C-alpha cells in the first residue's frame, strides 16, 4: 500500500462515526399506500417511530427528537416511550449531547422539542431555513393538509430559540463537523434535511422521511405525504449519489432498522 493511500485510510478511520437507531413508538399499522405512493391500497404495513444517534470524534449527535409527551398522550401513540428515556439506554444524557439535527418539523420528528432544550442544555439545534420559516411563519402551515402533521407546542419551542446560540438555521448543504454534512433533501417537506455520515463502511445517509421505508429508495417511489414530488425525485438522486451503497441509506420508519441490525439495548440497534 502506498504512503498516500495509508494516510488516506488513517484519516478516514479518524473521522468515522457509528450510527444507532432508537425506536420510541410503534409498531403502527396503515395502508401500504400511505408510505408507498399510490400502491398497496388493499394491503397493510407496520412502521416504527425512531430517532437516531451518531457517535464519534468526541461528538454525540442526536438526529430528530421524536414525539413529545403531551402530543403522544393526546393521540394515544402506541407503545410510546419518552425519547429522552430511550436515549438514556445508551448513555445519551444531559450535557453529553453536542448537537441535535431536526430533519423536518412534523410531530414525530420535532415533537421532542417540548423537553429537549432542557434535557440537553449544551446541545445546538440545526434546522433548514425553508423548513423553519414555513412551520413558524407561513399561514399555509395552519391549513388542514399540513396542520394535522404539526405539533404546535414543539414548533413554538423551536421558534423560541431563534436568535440564540442554541439554534443554527441552515440554508442548503453544510458540513457541521469533519465527516458529517447536512444535506437539503426536500420533497416530503419544503426543507427536509438528511445527514451524511462517514462510517467505517463508507458514506451513510440518515435519510429520515426522505424515505419512509427502504422500498422508497430501492424502487424510486416516495410516500403519499408529498409537498413537492419533483423535488423529492431529485432528493433521491442526490442521496443515492452521496451514499457509498443503497444499504447505507437509512429510512425514517422501516421495521428493518430494529429487526435486521445488532441490538445494543432495548429497542436500540447499531446500524453501522
Q: What is the pLDDT of residues 105-162, one digit of tens each?
A: 999 999 999 999 999 999 999 999 999 999 999 999 999 999 999 999 999 999 999 9
Q: What is the pLDDT of residues 206-247, one digit of tens each?
A: 999 999 999 999 999 999 999 999 999 999 999 999 999 999
- Give me the helix-helix angle, 129-137 and 152-159, nearest 10°: 120
Which triple of cell numbers denotes residue 262? Answer: 445488532
pLDDT of residue 5: 37
Whole-number Å distance between alpha carbons of 36 and 23: 21
Question: What is the C-alpha R_g of the chain?
Answer: 18
Q: What is the pLDDT of residues 149-189, one digit of tens each?
A: 999 999 999 999 999 999 999 999 999 999 999 999 999 99
Domain 12-172+250-270 has CATH 3.40.50.1220: no
Confidence band, pLDDT 50/70/90 cuts, at residue 26: very high
Q: What is the pLDDT of residues 75-102, one digit of tens each?
A: 999 999 999 999 999 999 999 999 999 9
Confidence band, pLDDT 50/70/90 cuts, at residue 45: very high
Whole-number Å distance between alpha carbons of 270 and 272: 6
Average pLDDT over residues 28-53: 97
For the chain, the domains span 12-172+250-270
Percent of the chain with pLDDT over 70: 95
Residue 13 above 90 pLDDT? no
Query: Where do we find the cell 438514556?
Result: 88
Amino acid at each position: 500500500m502506498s504512503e498516500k493511500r495509508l494516510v488516506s485510510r488513517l484519516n478516514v478511520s479518524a473521522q468515522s462515526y457509528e450510527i444507532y437507531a432508537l425506536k420510541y413508538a410503534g409498531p403502527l399499522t396503515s395502508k401500504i399506500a400511505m408510505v408507498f405512493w399510490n400502491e398497496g391500497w388493499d394491503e397493510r404495513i407496520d412502521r416504527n417511530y425512531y430517532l437516531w444517534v451518531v457517535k464519534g470524534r468526541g461528538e454525540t449527535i442526536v438526529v430528530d427528537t421524536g414525539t413529545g409527551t403531551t402530543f403522544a398522550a393526546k393521540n394515544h401513540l402506541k407503545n410510546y416511550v419518552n425519547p429522552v428515556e430511550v436515549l438514556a439506554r445508551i448513555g445519551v444524557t444531559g450535557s453529553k449531547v453536542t448537537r441535535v439535527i431536526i430533519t423536518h418539523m412534523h410531530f414525530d420528528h420535532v415533537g421532542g422539542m417540548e423537553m429537549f432544550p432542557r434535557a440537553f442544555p449544551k446541545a445546538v439545534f440545526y434546522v433548514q431555513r425553508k423548513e423553519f420559516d414555513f412551520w413558524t411563519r407561513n399561514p399555509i402551515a395552519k391549513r388542514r393538509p399540513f396542520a394535522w402533521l404539526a405539533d404546535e407546542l414543539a414548533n413554538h419551542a423551536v421558534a423560541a430559540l431563534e436568535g440564540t446560540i442554541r439554534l443554527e438555521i441552515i440554508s442548503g448543504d453544510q458540513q457541521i463537523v469533519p465527516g458529517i454534512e447536512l444535506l437539503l433533501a426536500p420533497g416530503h417537506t419544503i426543507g427536509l434535511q438528511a445527514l451524511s455520515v462517514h462510517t467505517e463502511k463508507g458514506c451513510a445517509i440518515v435519510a429520515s422521511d426522505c424515505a419512509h421505508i427502504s422500498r422508497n429508495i430501492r424502487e424510486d417511489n416516495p410516500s403519499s405525504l408529498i409537498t413537492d414530488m419533483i423535488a423529492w425525485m431529485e432528493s433521491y438522486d442526490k442521496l443515492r449519489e452521496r451514499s457509498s451503497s443503497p444499504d447505507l441509506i437509512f429510512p425514517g420508519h422501516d421495521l428493518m432498522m430494529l429487526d435486521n441490525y445488532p441490538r445494543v439495548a432495548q429497542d436500540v440497534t447499531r446500524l453501522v
